[in-house]
Structure formats: structure tokens, C-alpha cells
């Protein structure tokens, strides 16, 4: 077994662009320095894993409502502050593009190619009425036990 300090877990609770960026910058930085990284997506964070424009499946009205209101994937994410109905978010995205920085969707791909494990919290999916077919392919599913198993052998555990 490798040393605890070589593992990192992140709980991504939020779907805010800024918090998600922070999580992925940490995750890809750690993975490229050789750490084993697992990200658990819970609650609002689940929506970062949603496929764009997914249609289909039978849902109850209340689940459908949540579905409409939640962002679909990383490109829909907005800032937690100074969003100003999208203007602040666009401004920051432009600033990042000019500086040739990767966008959130790029970080997501980067994380996958660096073998960062992406786990969707099944409890949260139940609460939100989100189903597996709505989420990206090739991610993992788990609950609190999965998280705790990993966090107990990790040296760095953050809730973002």
C-alpha cells in the first residue's frame, strides 16, 4: 500500500465555476505530480458531470424541474460571486482565454487523461432525481462508504 500522503480526495459540493476550477486545478496539479486523486461529486457538484442536451428517460415533474434548472456540464457553470446575470462569468472566461489558460471543460478532460477518479455520489443523485444515463460515460458511482474508504487512506482531504 502506498503512503497516505500520496493520496488526495476532493468533495466537489458546488457547481460554481470558480470552486470547480479550484478543484480541478488542485486535482490535475496533484495527479501530474504523481499523487492518486479521487473527486467525489455531491449535490450541486453532480451537475458538472451532466451531458449537454441530454433528452429522454421518464421522470416525475419535480425531478424534471430540477433538471431544467441545474446547469448541464462544465460549460454552464457560473461564478459564485460577481456573476451579474452572466456578464461577470463571461468576463472571467475571456480573461482566461486571452491568457491561454484552459477552461473548465479542458480541465475535466485533463483530469480524465491523468487518471483522476471521478465518482458521482449516488445519494445526491437520488435527492436531485438525476440518473446515470444523464451523466458522462466512464465515471464511477459510490456513496459515503466509498468516500470514507478513500479519505481514510489519504493525506489531503478537502471539501470544496
- 21/67 Cα distance (integer angstroms): 23
Pairing of strands 117-121, 7-12: unpaired
Does position 147 interact with its own copies (CB under 8 A)? The reply is yes
Give the H/E segment covering residue 61: helix 61-69
User: Which residue's entry shows cell 491523468?
Assistant: 114
**Which residues have a Cβ under 8 Å from the Cβ of 65 and sit 6 or more positions away?**
none
Does position 25 interact with its own copies (CB under 8 A)? The reply is yes
Does position 69 interact with its own copies (CB under 8 A)? The reply is yes
Does position 152 interact with its own copies (CB under 8 A)? The reply is yes
User: Cβ(6)–Cβ(152) under 8 Å?
Assistant: no
Does position 52 interact with its own copies (CB under 8 A)? The reply is no
Phi, psi of 125 (to 5 degrees): -60, -40
CB 61 → its own copies: shortest distance, Å?
A: 10
| Contact stretch for its own copies (CB under 8 A) within 51-59, 107-115, 119-127, 134-142 | 119-127
| Contact stretch for its own copies (CB under 8 A) within 5-13, 103-111, 112-120, 131-139 | 5-13
* The three three-digit cell numbers of residue 6, written as one number: 500520496
The contact set with its own copies (CB under 8 A) reads: 4-6, 8, 11, 13, 18-19, 21-22, 25-26, 29-30, 33, 35, 42-44, 62-63, 65-66, 69, 81-82, 91-92, 94-96, 99, 101, 123, 126-129, 143-145, 147-148, 151-153, 155-160
Amino acid at each position: 500500500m502506498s503512503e497516505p500522503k500520496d493520496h488526495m480526495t476532493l468533495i466537489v459540493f458546488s457547481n460554481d465555476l470558480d470552486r470547480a476550477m479550484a478543484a480541478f486545478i488542485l486535482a490535475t496539479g496533484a495527479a501530474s505530480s504523481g499523487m492518486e486523486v479521487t473527486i467525489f461529486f455531491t449535490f450541486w457538484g453532480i451537475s458538472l458531470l451532466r451531458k449537454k442536451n441530454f433528452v429522454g428517460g421518464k421522470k416525475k415533474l419535480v425531478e424534471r424541474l430540477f433538471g431544467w434548472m441545474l446547469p448541464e456540464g462544465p460549460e454552464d457553470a457560473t461564478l459564485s460571486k460577481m456573476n451579474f446575470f452572466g456578464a461577470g462569468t463571461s468576463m472571467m472566461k475571456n480573461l482566461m482565454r486571452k491568457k491561454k489558460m484552459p477552461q473548465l471543460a479542458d480541465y475535466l478532460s485533463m483530469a480524465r487523461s491523468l487518471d483522476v477518479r471521478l465518482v458521482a455520489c449516488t445519494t445526491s443523485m437520488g435527492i436531485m432525481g438525476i440518473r446515470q444515463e444523464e451523466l458522462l460515460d466512464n465515471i464511477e458511482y459510490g456513496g459515503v462508504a466509498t468516500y470514507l474508504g478513500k479519505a481514510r487512506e489519504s493525506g489531503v482531504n478537502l471539501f470544496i
